[in-house]
A and B are shown apart, each in its own frame.
Chain A
Amino acid sequence: MRILSSLLRALALATLLALQPGAAAAQGGDDAFARFGADSFSDTNRAIEILITSAHPQAAPIIEALAEGRLLAGGGPVVIRTTDGRFIDARTGAALASAPPGLAPVRLNNSVRRGIQAALGGLGLLDPDTARRILAAEAVFKSRDAALLPVLEGALAKETDARAKAALRQAQAAILVAKADAPPFDRIAAIDVLRERGDQDALATLRSLPAESSASLKEAQARAVSDIEGKLALWRAGQNLWYGLSLGSVLLLAAIGLAITFGVMGVINMAHGEMVMIGAYTTFIVQEVIRTSAPGLFDYSLLIAVPLAFIVAGLVGIAIERGVIRFLYGRPLETLLATWGISLILQQAVRTAFGPTNREVGAPNFMSGAFEIGQLAITWNRLWIIVFAILVFAALLAILKLTPIGLQMRAVTQNRRMASAMGIRTGRVDALTFGLGSGVAGLAGVALSQIDNVSPNLGQSYIIDSFMVVVFGGVGNLWGTLVAAMTLGVANKLLEPYAGAVLGKIALLVFIILFIQKRPRGLFALKGRAVEA
């Protein structure tokens, strides 16, 4: 009798709760809120689950706040700090006058972050904003949370946007593939959907097929996997080529200034790398000034740094030429030693002025992140560096070929005495040529600040590569430098996947040694009188 009555009571309560979802949510929520305050990652994860399964009305804002570190807890009430700095009671959504004392942001680790991702995926599937629905579908694709399947199917039935539909279908497929109790026909269809998607994530999902799946399913999976792998191999070849061009553009930027000072003037300039470093530090200073005085201009910081780096490095170059190198023309060994000394002095000077640690040079928005062409991920910073390298190359070529100073430079390097007899002030031209080469190295520094450390050692890592490119391309030939940089970049990147980074580099150096034996003057040797000069 008693058992019956308690059963009835429970039933009544359940019906009541079903009629009043708010009440159930509040009760489930209580548990969740206590867990947020427990400062344990597993409790936080459980709290997220509770919020989702109890369909708590505040679930979405709470989890978003949690993801962004704006959810405060610590024993008492759980509070959301809004993005504009107000405080809201997480449970009720009511505004609070001030935050209760003793609260700290709920801590996250990777497993909590994954939980949040999955939860936001589940919550965002019905969002009115298409872009958010697609993001949510992607999140579900990654989390493969089978519990979301009904929501997903509901969303799919209502979906009208083609892209969102595709994303939802892929997410559904990712769940179905791994779901052992789904109808086999659906699972094979799911494998097809993943095959169409054809990227690395699809591959990972396909490979996670449970081992106890049926033979036909396994066969379909194996076919899809080899199909995707074949396509990806092609994309990877393209990717390596792209990486090669990108490395080539970096080499070109680093070497092109040297192509002027070493290639055209014949000065073995060991301080070339430090000109690159000066350019990078100029960028750093520009960004610091912008950060403190005009933060709005941050996205233009690199554009502002470009002319400044050119001027600063160029002036330093002119000072070096006038102060040291001009006394050493025709004495290559002494020039080498003197410029090596200058490079050490510059490094230590920068180390003393800015400290030995790396300086942070931020990336402006247009240079952050990546976009995809097919399966090829192209990062914006690399793309812009390639563009920049080509622009610098074209500008330099134009200066040498089209301007009076370029004409004088070529005249002086080809026949100094004749040029002098024609009324060219050779000393001034020497200084300007060296300044131009150094200035271009400064430009390289602006670009390299985006991909490498801005530290006093920045230049050292590029000096060997730069000489390699210039010598390989043929001394005194800008086009040779371009071809050499791109060849070495692409060769390096094609070798790297097979030989590894260390062996790849060694193989390349051996190749250059052999090549220089055969053609001592590089790819594009200068012919005529200039060679003897």
Chain B
Amino acid sequence: MSVNTTRRVMLGAALAGATVLGSWLPAAAQETIKVGILHSLSGTMAISETTLKDVMLMLIEEQNKKGGVLGKKLEAVVVDPASNWPLFAEKARELITKDKVSAVFGCWTSVSRKSVLPVFKELNSILFYPVQYEGEESERNVFYTGAAPNQQAIPAVDYLAKEEKVQRWVLAGTDYVYPRTTNKILEAYLLAKGVAKEDIMINYTPFGHSDWQTIVSDIKKFGTAGKKTAVVSTINGDANVPFYKELGNQGVKATDIPVVAFSVGEEELAGIDTKPLVGHLAAWNYFQSVKTPENEAFIKQWKAYKKNDKAVTNDPMEAHVIGFAMWVKAVEKAKSFDPDKVIDALPGIEAPNLTGGISKMLPNHHITKPVLIGEIKADGQFDVVSKTDLVPGDAWSKHLDGSKDLIGDWVEKKCGNFNVKSGKCGGA
């Protein structure tokens, strides 16, 4: 108890500093429109979220150079929820009530999203959520610009089954909601495709797991059944580095047992020697190595903004790029910053993604995205080996019993969990 309280007090003190920093940001014209940025700048998630804050600042700066939105300059309000889930809700409330932001771009983990949900509902504001997640959700106030499971996990499994002829599957993940739900969906999907139960191994590890010796040798053992084996990894965050190091050390090569990861991007690979990992895969909707004019311009802009020639770009950054462009367009279409009008205007809005297509906001508040499979190269980048057409995001998985009849539709049905069988809103 006392430790916990102190922790909050101390975090609070640290945060006060961060918030002050945030409010220093240039407040140009008198009438500015505020945009909230809710990403952890300290604590465990800072590793992933800090760059997202920078991307948002860059996008807002860029938009202001173009004259702002509806003739008004935008102003970023940065807060630091410090990887502390309850603090996310507090900071969200502060952004909406005190700073009166028109929209918030933020959150990374599903826990943080779930923690701010009630706040956004109660105060009726808009959240753009840029990270791939487990699905099974469609909220009026949230726009999901990251991938739903059918935009990442399912196509990745299809690729392995088709191109690598995989018949035996290890589903390895960190023990929390995203991997558990994703693996549940994948297991149902694989079983439905005729994979035998004993050809699926599911393994969970705690957050920040660092001793992977046993699990990697278990995977090796599982791979000796005479059938092609692959690992589908939903291992999150920092635990990936020791996992990949152990794979390299124990000599698990991609040509024998490929690992396809859903949470490993350019940013995560920056901390490892990638030579032993060449050929392992990742599934995303964006890779830095994609060669399109849009992407090259974005990378150039980002490197210039960060004043670092080695700065990398990744998938959630692209999601913010798309989400921000959609928000701007929706505001222009609604001719208002009023959340209700913008929420109604958003479905149907189209914005170019960085891989050469046009993404569209769907009535279930998810977007259409292409699915890319990339192989890790020796320089820590990905070589795209497969790319699908635009896939519409499913809020509710078609492969789970509880959710296959549900759809999210905020345009006609005005409902996030409409049951097509019973014709009623509310899940059942």
Contacts and interface: CB of A to CB of B under 8 A. Distances in A.
A344 B14 contact: yes
Q: Which of B10, B227, B245, B249 has the most CB of A within 10 A?
A: B249
Contact of B164 (A110, A250, A344): A110
B349 interface: no
Contacts of A209: 226
A142 B245 CA distance: 23
B210 A200 contact: no
B215 A117 contact: no
Interface stretch (B44-52, B189-197, B359-367, B387-395): B44-52
A327 B96 CA distance: 44
A454 B271 contact: yes
A69 B279 CA distance: 13
A151 interface: no
Interface string B308-333: 00000000000000000000000000
A109 interface: yes
A496 to B, nearest CB: 5
A212 B210 CA distance: 44
B209 interface: yes
A379 B210 CA distance: 15
Contacts of B238: 358, 453, 455, 457
A345 to B, nearest CB: 8
B97 interface: no
Contact of A348 (B42, B217, B242, B270): B42
A381 B249 contact: yes
Contact of A351 (B46, B245, B258): B46
Contact of A200 (B41, B43, B220, B270): B220
B215 A501 contact: yes
A368 B249 contact: yes
Given A243-B214, A358-B270, A207 B225 contact: yes
A500 B242 contact: no
Interface residues of B, number: 60
Nearest to A107: B383
B279 A457 contact: no
A369 interface: yes
Nearest to B281: A110
A152 B383 CA distance: 35
Given A501-B206, A501-B209, A356 B225 contact: no
B167 to A, nearest CB: 11
A287 B279 CA distance: 27
Interface in A223-252: 232, 236, 239-240, 243, 246-247, 250
Interface in B232-280: 238, 241-242, 245-246, 249-251, 254-256, 258, 267-268, 270-273, 279
Interface of B: 2-3, 6-7, 10-11, 14, 41-44, 46-47, 50, 163-164, 175, 203-206, 208-211, 213-215, 217-218, 220-221, 223-227, 238, 241-242, 245-246, 249-251, 254-256, 258, 267-268, 270-273, 279, 375, 378, 383, 385
21 contacts: A109-B163, A109-B385, A200-B221, A205-B226, A207-B226, A207-B227, A250-B211, A337-B6, A357-B267, A358-B271, A360-B272, A363-B273, A369-B249, A452-B210, A453-B210, A456-B46, A457-B208, A461-B210, A493-B213, A497-B214, A501-B203
Given A356-B47, A455-B271, 17 more contacts: A110-B279, A207-B225, A243-B211, A243-B213, A243-B217, A250-B211, A340-B7, A356-B50, A357-B270, A358-B268, A358-B271, A370-B250, A379-B213, A379-B249, A455-B47, A460-B208, A493-B213
